[in-house]
Amino acid sequence: EIINQLQQLGVPVKREGNRVAIGSPSSPQGLTLRVFIKKIDDKPSSVTIMVNDDKYTLPGDEYRLNRYLLAEPEVAYHILRIISTHGVPVEYDAQTKTLKATLASEVDYIVSPTSNRDNSDSHSTGSSGGLVRVMRYGDDITVELGTQSFKLPKYYRKLEKALRENEFSIELIRDSLLRIGIDSRRVGTSLRLLLPGGDAYLSNLPITRQYQYKVESDTGSVKITTGSDTYNLPSDKVILGRAIAEKRVLPRTLVATFNNVGISSEIDIARQEIAFNLPTGLLKIPVPLNISQQRIGSRLRLSVRGPEGNKVYTLTIGDSGEDKVELPSDVRLLNSYIRSGDIDSNLLMQLLGRMGVAHYVDSAKNALVATLNGRPYEIQKSSM
């Protein structure tokens, strides 16, 4: 039975007497399979699978991909083999004919450099509507929902329309904005964004409850329950602070929950902390934010052209559009820009990661290594 199931998945296995032999895999006739893996902070964040003329991107296309595998189960093994080779945890249920990949960073926030060169930020909490990103460059705020981009406050009406029509978590968007120093106020179905260039009012938004916390007050302590995790305050102050810093707990949603049960709480963006008025007294927990307004380095834009294996990545530096670097041919020039402080290598790695370029840190050489067209290239690290 096990051998039959493996053979149905395309695994080259057969029984030879009392032994089970596994041979070299061969693709089904007529199958062209390509897999592209996007990484952020050297962790797989999305997977694009090209099967002949069909394209499936995870997260997002799980239902379509599993429908395809239901009809063509022998392809599953080849997908499993390729994806797992690149460090993506993946499993396949032979009974339900469904594939599940665990991505480390399904949702990420990318923050342009301000006064801190290490303020690129990533988040690992999922959203049902797709990828959510926020970016800040000085007072310029951009929200990306999937493939749509909205500059605020100019296009707040378009953002409002997109939030009404899609299932993006309002809690997640509020939290991402908070982490770059943009606070918000929620009243019913309306949301007020406190932007540097003027407030924006979004109305008639859906009520999303993807992130819910339970707060219970007891004698001498307050218990917070989020999924399978619990925190007791004030004793778990440090543990909760770590969960907030690691983005496993959304601070804005947590504060709203406390206020809803009658425990006064507020976030002080300037001090980067939450103040809880517990029955035992005032408790403050730090909330790391990227809030400085000073611009350091230049604005970066990255585009790509060319076929797989011979791609050219064009990096535009600054607002004029005149300074450009083409990778991989101009790596030396790129490193010169990094040494002069015109390019933040941390942000560059984030942009390359969004293009599907794998990269890692070579601690021995104190350098970054990006794989472009199948070859590794050393890239200078920005001085901190």
Q: Rounded CA gap, 179 and 30, in Å?
A: 49
What is the rounded CA–CA span in Å between residue 270 and residue 300?
A: 27
Residue 194 CB partners (closer than 8 Å, separation 6+):
182, 183, 184, 185
Orientation angle between helical segments 331-340 and 345-354, nearest 10 degrees:
140
Triad 117, 175, 203: Cα angle to 5°? 130
In this structure, the chain runs to a length of 384
Separation between Cα atoms, residue 203 and residue 106, nearest integer Å: 27
* DSSP letter string, 244-274: HHTTSS-HHHHHHHHHHTT--EEEETTTTEE
Buried b (16+ CB within 10 A) or exposed e, 234-251: bebbeebbebbeebebbb
Domain ranges of the chain: 2-101, 214-286, 300-380
pLDDT in tens, 201-214: 888 888 777 778 99
Q: How far is CA 140 from CA 72, 110, 154, 197, in A?
A: 47, 13, 10, 8
Point out the residues of the chain with pLDDT beneath 50.
24-25, 41, 104-129, 293-296
pLDDT, tens digit (0-9, with 9 covering 90-100), for 293-315: 444 455 778 888 888 888 899 88
Give pLDDT tens digits for 99-147: 666 654 333 332 222 223 233 333 333 333 456 778 776 677 888 877 6
